[in-house]
Amino acid sequence: MPSPESRVSAQVEGQGISMRGGWASRGGWDFWAVRVFLVVCTGAVSYTSGPFGLRGIAAASVGLLIALVVLLAELRLRRAALSGLLGGALGAVLGVFAALLVTLVISRTNEPEPTKSFLEFSALFAFGYLGLVLGSRRGGEMKVDGLDGLFGKKAAPAESMKLLDTSVLIDGRIADICEAQFMEGVLGVPQFVLHELQMVADSSDSLKRQRGRRGLEVLQRIQKMPQVEVRILDADFPQAGDVDHKLVELARQTGAKIVTNDFNLNKVATVQGFVVLNVNQLAHALKPAVLPGEPMRVLILREGKEPNQGVAYLDDGTMVVVDGARRLINKSVDITVTSVHQTTAGKMIFGRLEERAEQMAPPLRQAAAAGRGDGGGAVRTDTTSRVEPPVRLPERGPLDRQARPIFPESDVR
Single-letter amino acid, residue 248: V
| Secondary structure element (H or E) that encloses residue 33, with its range | helix 29-49
pLDDT at 60: 81
| Secondary structure element (H or E) that encloses residue 311, with its range | strand 309-313
Write the CA distances from 167 to 5, 211, 215, 253, integer angstroms. Answer: 16, 10, 8, 22
Give Cα 179 to chain centroid, integer Å: 15
**Alpha-carbon dihedral of residues 145, 148, 150, 154, nearest 10 degrees?**
-150
Mean pLDDT by 10 residues, the chain (413 residues): 48 42 49 80 80 79 82 75 77 86 86 81 82 76 54 55 92 91 88 91 91 92 91 85 88 90 89 90 80 89 88 87 89 90 80 68 51 46 42 45 44 40
pLDDT at 135: 79
Single-letter amino acid, residue 327: R
pLDDT at 259: 93
The CATH number of the domain covering residues in 161-285: 3.40.50.1010
Which backbone phi and psi does 161 adopt, to 5 degrees?
Answer: -105, 145
> CA 388 to CA 390: how far, in whole Å?
6
CATH 2.40.50.140 range(s) for the chain read 295-358
Write the CA distances from 152 to 25, 28, 88, 119, 157, integer angstroms. Answer: 18, 20, 21, 43, 15
C-alpha count within 13 angstroms, C-beta hemisphere, residue 84:
8
Strand, coil or helix: 51: helix
| Contact between residue 65 and residue 47 where contact means Cβ atoms under 8 Å apart | no
pLDDT at 359: 53
| Contact between residue 353 and residue 333 where contact means Cβ atoms under 8 Å apart | yes
Bridge partner residues of 257 (DSSP)? 162
> CA 346 to CA 73: how far, in whole Å?
57
CATH 3.40.50.1010 range(s) for the chain read 161-285
Angle of helix 191-201 relative to helix 206-223, nearest 10 degrees, comes to 140
* Count of Cβ atoms closer than 10 Å to residue 289 Cβ: 7
pLDDT at 167: 92
pLDDT at 402: 45
Instruction: Provide the phi-psi class of 56: left if phi over 0, else alpha when psi is between -120 and 50, else beta.
Output: left
The CATH number of the domain covering residues in 295-358: 2.40.50.140
Single-letter amino acid, residue 164: L
